Amino acid sequence: MIPNNFAANWRRAIESGDASGFMDREDLVGFFTATGANTGGYDTFMKLTDDEKDHVVEMRSHYPAESLEAATRAHAKRSEAAQAVIARNKANLVTTPAASEPPKSVSWEKAIAKTNASFGMMAADIYARRNKARGV
């Protein structure tokens, strides 16, 4: 199915494979951009009938420079968009120097000391039982 927004000469080219209706090189590059799988026109290309797809592919082989130009422009456009996203994300990053150790609160220090003390008492109790069992 040829999109309704395609120019009449583009529609004729898809239907018949005749590229004589293209006005100039830029018109041909625009056509290949709109119908190319690697230029953002994948959905358009896939909606064409098999005969129409064959006509487009045949025209690509007859005009390789224009087809390559369409692919190159599409790649450059995607690359520019990706670079813009990367630059925006880099600008949004907040860079703060990492602290070597976070500050400890007094209550945290007390909790650690209490836990260590209880482990110490528990260990002393275990050693006492073991020594008693051995008769030491």
Q: In Å, how far are 11, 72, 78, 79, 91 from 84, measured between CA atoms? A: 35, 18, 10, 9, 11
| CB-CB neighbours of 3 under 10 Å | 15
Closest CA to 33 of 42, 22, 24: 42
**Tens of pLDDT along 92-115?**
776 655 556 666 677 878 888 888
Closest CA to 52 of 7, 9, 11: 11
**Tens of pLDDT along 3-26?**
889 999 999 999 999 989 999 999
pTM of the model: 0.58
